[in-house]
Amino acid sequence: MRIDAVTLFPGMIDAPLSESIVGRARQEGFLELGFSNPRDFTEDRHRTVDDKPYGGGTGMVMMAEPVYRALKKVGKKGSYVILLTPKGRPFDQKLAQALSKKKHLVFICGHYEGIDERITPLADLELSIGDYVLTGGEPAAVAVIDAVTRLIPGVLRKDDATVNETFTDGLLEAPHYTRPAVWRGKKVPEALVSGNHRLIAEWRRAQAEALTGKARPDLAPERAKPARKRKQILD
């Protein structure tokens, strides 16, 4: 997959995505990550990319022309352009899966008070990662690229690594435990050390439903209810 980011601060994206799984995906050729800086498409000696907003107000707004030129530099036929903005569609696992199937993604990262609204129609999707304010679209791009990259076939070592994750089936993932079996007097649930695969699967499903019903009933209200009939499995 190829991903390009139109950004004034490439380092805010490049640095965190050079580590761990995404960094390895880039090294092994699963992900090619590029950047296009609007400052490189200005014509004045100050490389101006922002100006005061019409109608007054605090802050500065990114100008349309430098962003447009930067976008045209990396965009091509078949590119899927995403504008990161608080007014966009909420990002979720289902959308991450859909985006992981694209061949080329282009992220437009706003900064300051945002981008001239006339850039918006150039995007295929307006996307938000949550109801809060960031310094710019770069941290949001990092989150989305990370979520998408790990879903690219071959990036994770095990083919089933993304099958039973949180949000994949509309539920939060069941709790995890590792050695030792007893830690500071607290034991690993008996089902997990039983060696009975059916019992383990039932325990995990019951835990996922109970946890989702308690913490995030909005995810799957028809299924995410405490499993009272499976109390013996939860204990």
Neighbour-count burial of 184, counting CB atoms closer than 10 A to its CB (0-12 exposed, 13-18 middle, 19+ buried): exposed
Helix, strand, coil % in the chain, rounded to nearest 5: 35, 20, 45
* Model pLDDT, residue 170: 80
Roughly what angle, to the nearest 10 degrees, separates helices 20-27 and 138-149?
70
Split at pLDDT 50, 70, 90, the class of 230 is very low
CATH number at residue 119: 3.40.1280.10
Same domain, 142 and 188: no
Residue 85 half-sphere exposure toward CB, CA atoms < 13 A = 18
pLDDT score for 161 = 56
Predicted confidence (pLDDT) per residue in 53-96, tens digit: 999 998 999 999 999 999 999 999 999 999 999 999 999 999 99
Q: What is the pLDDT of residue 167?
A: 66
Q: Nearest to residue 93, comparing CAs of 169, 31, 154, 152? A: 169
Give the range of the structural domain holding residue 198, as residue numbers without chain letter.
182-234
pLDDT band at 219 (very low <50, low <70, confident <90, very high): confident
| pLDDT at 188 > cutoff 90 | yes
Closest CA to 79 of 135, 148, 5: 5
Nearest to 112, CA basis, from 57, 45, 69: 57
Which tokens in the block code for residue 164?
A: 């039973």
The token duo for 179 is: 């050695």
Q: Are 40 and 70 in contact (CB under 8 A)?
A: yes
Alpha-carbon distances of 131 from 12, 81, 146, 158, 225, rounded to whole Å? 21, 21, 19, 33, 26
Q: What are phi and psi of 182, to 5 degrees?
A: -125, 120
Buried b (16+ CB within 10 A) or exposed e, 129-165: beeeebebbbbbbbbbbbbbbbbeeebeeeeeebeee
Q: Average of pLDDT values for 7-36? A: 98
Look at residue 206 and tell me if it is in a domain: yes
My answer on whether 59 and 142 are in the same domain is yes
Is residue 158 a contact partner of residue 150, using CB atoms and an 8 Å limit? no
Is the pLDDT score of 232 beyond 80?
A: no
What pLDDT sits at residue 106? 98
- Classify residue 157: in a domain, yes or no: no
Q: What is the pLDDT of residue 220?
A: 66
Q: How many domains does the chain have?
A: 2
Indicate if 122 and 215 belong to the same structural domain.
Answer: no
| Residue 124 maps to a domain | yes
Q: What separation in angstroms does the CA of 107 have from each of 5, 63, 66?
A: 5, 17, 15
Same domain as 194, residue 141: no
Any bridge partners for residue 82, and if so which?
Answer: 107, 125
pLDDT value at position 120?
97
Name the domain boundary from 99, 124, 149.
149
pLDDT at 35: 98
Give the pLDDT confidence score for residue 228 in this predicted structure: 47
* Model pTM score: 0.86
Do 18 and 121 belong to one domain?
A: yes
